[in-house]
Amino acid sequence: MPEPPWYMSPAGWLTELGSSMHGREIPPRLATLPGVNAPRLGPPLSIERLFDTLRTQVVGKRIETTLADKPVAFTIDDLDADFDPFGAAMGQVNDLSFAAVEPVFDGLGAQRFTVTARNVHTRPAINPVLVAAPLEVVVVADWPQTTAFLKQYVDKLEIEPLGTQQLRVRYNGRRSRSGWVDARLVVDGGRIELRPLAAGWGQWLRRDRLSAISSIPIATAVGEGVRVVDLTVDRKEVTAVLRIDEMSIPYGKLLSFSPGSR
């Protein structure tokens, strides 16, 4: 029976793509899988070798790409992946995480972010894709960066940090700017809101009987399949935790981040 071509099996896709990385050897367990022809394909590598190579090539490198059709740039500070022998042979990663500094999204900056991906696996296709579902993204920004974000997306509100989970909110209007509400940031059952603690207008202050002032909801839906699940603030920083239901990246694009594959 003739041997099936490499593009007819997931393992063949892994080794064929891996053959573009020079100086790597095929792991014995991968060489025995159907559809893998090491002599014909040259020195291929498994998904473990792919991430080993990526780690050496991209850590410290400035990455520029797009997200939701908007420019994104960041510098990768660390990349870590955990494998088991059987899963790796089938293009799976137990856990994947990476950290980046100086991220910029559509002109808006932050201090750093970390990504933790679960259920990372290869989706076989003519152009195979690495898929993760879900992902947790933790973004940390200082207050000047947060203020710049608010001006672009919530330009009518001014928010000032008062302490841990406490903020002062003003409406940025000529007549209403003298009014303010001090509130506690609360995350409860998937909802995020600002609950009034005190209110004032000019020199007038009220700390009791605030039931007439409704809580201020904070939108958690960032986009399709992306939402904020936690938010913490203090006088220096804002930390947002986002959940992404699924994210995918073609192997070709993943390999393009490595100078050695060009």
Distance CA 221, CA 226 (A): 6
Give yes or no for residue 92 having a pLDDT over 50.
Answer: yes
| Model confidence at 44: pLDDT above 80 | no
39-53, 132-146, 204-218: which range is least confident on average? 39-53
pLDDT score for 245: 94
- Interval 193-249: pLDDT, tens: 999 998 888 777 777 767 677 888 998 988 788 899 999 999 999 999 999 999 888
Q: Is the pLDDT of residue 57 over 70?
A: yes
Q: Is the pLDDT of residue 139 over 90?
A: yes
Kindly report whether the peptide bond that precedes residue 134 is cis, defined as omega within 30 degrees of 0: yes
Q: Which residues pair with 66 in a beta bridge?
A: 71
The reported pLDDT for the residue numbered 1 is 52
Q: Please tell me the least confidently modeled range out of 76-85, 86-95, 110-119, 156-165.
A: 86-95
Mean pLDDT of 142-148: 95
- Give Cα 185 to chain centroid, integer Å: 23
In angstroms, how far apart are the furthest CA atoms of the chain?
89
The identity of residue 87, as a single letter, is G
Provide the CA 23 distance to its chain's centre, in angstroms: 31
pLDDT at 75: 95
Higher-pLDDT residue of 128 and 260 is 128
Which pLDDT value is given to residue 2? 58
Average confidence score pLDDT of the chain? 79
Identify the pLDDT of residue 101.
97
User: What number is the average pLDDT over the span 124-147?
Assistant: 91
Pick from 125-129, 132-136, 198-202 the range whose average pLDDT is largest: 132-136
Write down the pLDDT at residue 12: 54
| CA-based nearest residue to 51, from 261, 255, 256 | 255
Q: Which of 6-15, 117-126, 214-223 has the lowest mean pLDDT?
A: 6-15
